[in-house]
């Protein structure tokens, strides 16, 4: 039987630190604290839940969920991220995909992905050198309709149940990435809703992710912007350890980065 040995969520971008060195330092420190937890727990693989920025899944095809099943990934190289290959957890991903199909979740299989900054940037710190194999799970937040918060949370619960079943033998670290509030290429661009972000962090920290799962996508769009839909990735992560409380690693509303930046680690003893 497998186990989830670490679970965390983080914003997945770093921009120009000029004029905000203290805030930027907190962001980097958040990545490093997640990296330390991953190193401490020594997982066999990382399940990394995030969005794609219309690079691998564009206008022609946008499934609700897509799971990378490759044995290696080479980053796209956007934001000047080195194209250093990272190991893929293909065998685990294939087995997970088949199990999820049996329990009512039809995920697209991605045999090849070029991870953009949403994966590759945090992995530079959390998983240096790409040593721990990664299974990337992409959640559609770009095209209408995105999966509902309830569906994302339920998917996380199904993933957690599989990992803890006799069918899985791996030690898994689960990371949800993206968000928090931000409006991209819309009239609200540059706005950050710190009250919304802190509510998300508070509910997740209190083990009340199920309450976030009752929200509508329209509610999230109105209060956190189109980029704020990436909290679905946090919600799926929380579903894998449903009932666990957590603690905020940092929160900074960074206007010059157009984003409410934050990170959280789950306290798995409470799961």
Residue-wise pLDDT for 220-251, tens only, equals 999 999 889 999 999 999 999 999 999 999 99
CATH code of the domain in which 88 resides:
3.40.830.10
pLDDT tens column, 28-71 = 999 999 999 999 999 999 999 998 877 778 778 889 999 999 99
Give the separation between CA 4 and CA 172, rounded to whole angstroms.
5
Tokens of 145: 């309709």
Residues recorded for the chain: 271
Output DSSP code: residue 179. -
Query: For position 162, what pLDDT does the model report?
Result: 98
Give the separation between CA 49 and CA 37, rounded to whole angstroms.
17
Hey, how many other C-beta atoms are within 10 angstroms of the C-beta on 169?
Answer: 13
Q: Which domain holds residue 66?
A: 3-270
**Domain tally, the chain:** 1
Three-state SS for 263? strand
Tokens of 46: 């990382």
Closest by alpha carbon to 176, among 126, 222, 104? 126
Query: For position 271, what pLDDT does the model report?
Result: 44
Helices 90-102 and 149-163, axial angle in degrees (round to 10): 120
Query: For position 188, what pLDDT does the model report?
Result: 79
Dihedral angle sign, alpha carbons of residues 212, 9, 221, 255: positive
- Residue 202 region by backbone torsions, left for phi larger than 0, else alpha for psi between -120 and 50, else beta: alpha
Question: From first to last of its 271 residues, what are the pLDDT tens digits of the chain?
Answer: 999 999 999 998 887 888 899 999 999 999 999 999 999 999 999 999 998 877 778 778 889 999 999 999 988 877 777 898 999 999 999 999 999 999 999 999 999 888 888 888 888 889 988 889 999 999 998 888 999 999 999 999 999 999 999 999 999 999 999 989 989 878 878 899 999 999 999 999 999 999 999 999 999 999 999 889 999 999 999 999 999 999 999 999 998 898 999 999 999 974 4
Rounding to the nearest 10 degrees, give the CA dihedral for residues 78, 225, 109, 106: 180
Got the DSSP string for 19-67?
Answer: T-HHHHHHHHHHHHHHHHHHHHH--SEEEEEE---SSSS-TT---SEEE
């Amino acid at each position: 039987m497998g186990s989830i040995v670490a679970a965390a969520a983080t914003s997945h971008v770093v921009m120009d630190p000029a004029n905000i060195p203290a805030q930027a330092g907190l962001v980097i420190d958040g990545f490093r604290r997640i990296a330390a937890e991953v190193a401490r727990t020594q997982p066999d693989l990382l399940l990394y839940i995030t969005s794609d920025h219309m690079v691998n899944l564009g206008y022609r095809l946008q499934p609700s969920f897509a799971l990378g099943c490759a044995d290696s990934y080479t980053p796209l190289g956007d934001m000047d991220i080195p194209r250093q290959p990272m190991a893929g957890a293909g065998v685990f991903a294939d087995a997970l995909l088949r199990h999820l199909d049996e329990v009512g979740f039809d995920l697209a299989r991605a045999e090849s992905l070029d991870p953009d900054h949403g994966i590759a940037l945090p992995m530079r710190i959390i998983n240096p050198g790409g040593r721990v194999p990664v299974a990337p799970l992409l959640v559609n937040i770009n095209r209408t309709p995105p999966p509902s918060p309830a569906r994302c949370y339920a998917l996380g619960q199904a993933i957690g149940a599989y990992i803890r079943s006799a069918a899985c033998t791996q030690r898994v670290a689960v990371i949800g990435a993206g968000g928090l509030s931000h409006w991209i290429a819309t009239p609200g661009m540059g706005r950050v809703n710190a009250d919304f972000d802190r509510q998300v962090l508070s509910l997740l920290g209190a083990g009340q992710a199920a309450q976030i799962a009752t929200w509508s996508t329209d509610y999230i769009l109105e209060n956190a912007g189109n980029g704020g839909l990436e909290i679905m990735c946090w919600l799926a992560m929380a579903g894998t350890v449903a009932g666990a409380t957590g603690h905020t690693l940092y929160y900074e509303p960074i206007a010059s980065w157009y984003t409410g930046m934050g990170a959280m680690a789950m306290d798995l003893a409470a799961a």
